[in-house]
Structure 1
């Protein structure tokens, strides 16, 4: 075989390998194709976040003013204020601390700005394994996850604005906090991300119910345990140790979880009613077994037995 033909065959194999993996109608792919698809989605997510980070780098002064506002609301006797001024100042010690802080805030801002784009990439990787009727929830998943995360971030910001003066004032009169910009920004971003991620819990519950993984009767049976676990998660996940922040996270999560349970109950009842109407059977819950004959009989024998029973009842 000549060298030109070998080169042409290798080029054809490379072009074929660059194509997107072929999928069956039900979305099945070999394991290696799944890994390649996962790699492609991860690269796209990183690219989106990097492009958003460029925008966040230029918007850093405005983002820093927004994040610094809760700290500036602390009374001057409890925060660092340069002598002779009333400015709200965050300090740093290392030469590169300012640059690394700006880079960190830019990346986080980029992830927030491009949230719908990389959420779609996650959902697009999951949807091939779902049924066709379950893929209709793509827009619902993206919109709901974005709104819930934004609601959690807004609540965390309000809690920080009200709670930070209380926390810093616990040291007592005569003490003053000299917070570094890296520590403060890290604390604030961690609080915002934890609140925003925690608010995604009801969405996960609803999607698991719609996919048939988590029935409503299981949710209703384990409500007390779930509420206890929510408070435990809030106590562990919040960066502060005060009960005010823990309750500020736990109470909205409990309300959202109850709304998710109610949505699951309504969805399961509609699904059971639809199935009962299709099979012309009485309405049954998902966890109630359907009554069947202990000894299966042929259809003709069953009809003869029904006619005999009706004739005997008429004669009596």
Structure 2
């Protein structure tokens, strides 16, 4: 019995990269990618539902660190309490926390499916830079979220002490969690600002000198963005966010200068040469000898007569 080896065809990535995939195959691939991404989100949602109590305890840490948040219960023991205005607020809040955690836990799955669908349309060097920027974006976002968590504690202390109620104050739980998650998301997204500048520089759109010339505008816009976007009415969170954005801007400009120097961008071709400096090239002089003799021209043959053109009977020209 003869064994035959079945030759495998090109992969889905290769077919999408060379443009040989049909529209129906693109739609089928998108359906499969969305299905696996949905499974990743469902798995992350289940994990988030299981750890939602621990996450809520972590988010309520800045609030429970305040003395004004502790009230005695019926046995006289102080407890950190929140207010609930609706019968379903507790369950809705748990589902909301589970959704946030599910997005984070399932991020490797749905981000990979998104990348696998988009990557065939990119060049090799574009895919390489995409890996680098994604690897930098995740730690920056986490750093911004961690910083926002500590900012929330100082902001709440300022809000409680600056208000008219300075003793026992209980916050509504849904509004408080929305306040904390908004601060985490805002600081995380704001920390991605230098990546945009680096992408513009690495792609050759903007030079480092041009980026540095915008420093007044960037600092002003950073403080304006922090004043408008932060839900914290106190000056601490706004000033810290604007200062971090300005610092990250100057760090991005420094990296852009290193990139321009590595590529030799922005320097004139002969900028390091003196105007009165002689050329280092040696002059080579070679004697010119007698030229080769030129042959006599050959006679031109008599042209042959042109044949008589055919009549245009029963034919149409280009006009008619």
Do the two structures share a fold, i.e. TM-score over 0.5? Answer: yes
Deviations 1:102-142 (CA, angstroms, capped at 9, x unpaired) = 00001111222234444445555554454322321343223
Q: How many residues align?
A: 261
TM-score (norm 2): 0.70
- Kindly indicate whether residue 16 of structure 2 is the aligned counterpart of residue 23 of structure 1: yes
SS of the residue corresponding to residue 134 of structure 1 reads helix
- Alignment root-mean-square deviation, CA: 3.3
1:170-213 CA-to-partner distances (Å, cap 9, x unmatched) read 22355543212211111111111111111111122212322333
Q: Out of 205-214 and 194-203, give the one that drifted further.
A: 205-214
Name 1:298's counterpart in structure 2. Answer: none
Question: Secondary structure at 1:98's aligned position in 2?
Answer: helix
CA contact (8 A) 1:48 1:114 kept: yes
Structure 1 position 196 matched with structure 2 position 183: no
Q: 1:61 matched to which residue of 2?
A: 53
Q: Does the C-alpha gap of structure 1 residues 101 and 173 become closer, same or farther in structure 2, counting only changes over 3 Å?
A: closer
User: What's the counterpart of residue 218 of structure 2?
Assistant: 226
Relative to structure 1, the CA distance from residue 33 to residue 228 in structure 2 (aligned partners, 3 Å threshold; closer, same or farther) is farther
The answer to whether 1:282 aligns with 2:269 is yes
| CA-CA distance at 1:86 after TM superposition | 0.8
Tell me if 1:107 matches 2:99. Answer: yes
Counterparts in 2 of 1:175 and 1:260: CA distance versus 1, 3 Å: same
Q: Which has the larger radius of gyration?
A: 2
Q: Distance in 1 between matches of 2:170 and 2:66?
A: 12
- 1:187-245 CA distance string (max 9 Å, x none): 11111111111111112221232233333233122222112111111111111111111
Describe how 1:75-94 pairs up with structure 2 within 5 A: 75-76=67-68, 80-82=71-73, 84-94=76-86
Alpha-carbon distance change, 128 to 20 in structure 1, aligned in 2, over 3 angstroms: closer
Give the 5 Å matches for 1:1-316: 22-25=15-18, 44-76=36-68, 80-82=71-73, 84-173=76-165, 176-272=168-264, 282=269
Q: Tell me if structure 2 keeps the 8 A contact 1:199–1:253.
A: yes
Look up the SS of the partner of 2:260 in the other structure.
Answer: helix
Cα distance in 1, alignment partners of residues 210 and 221 from structure 2? 15
TM-score, length-scaled by structure 1: 0.71
Contact residue 70 and residue 79 of structure 2 kept, 8 A: no
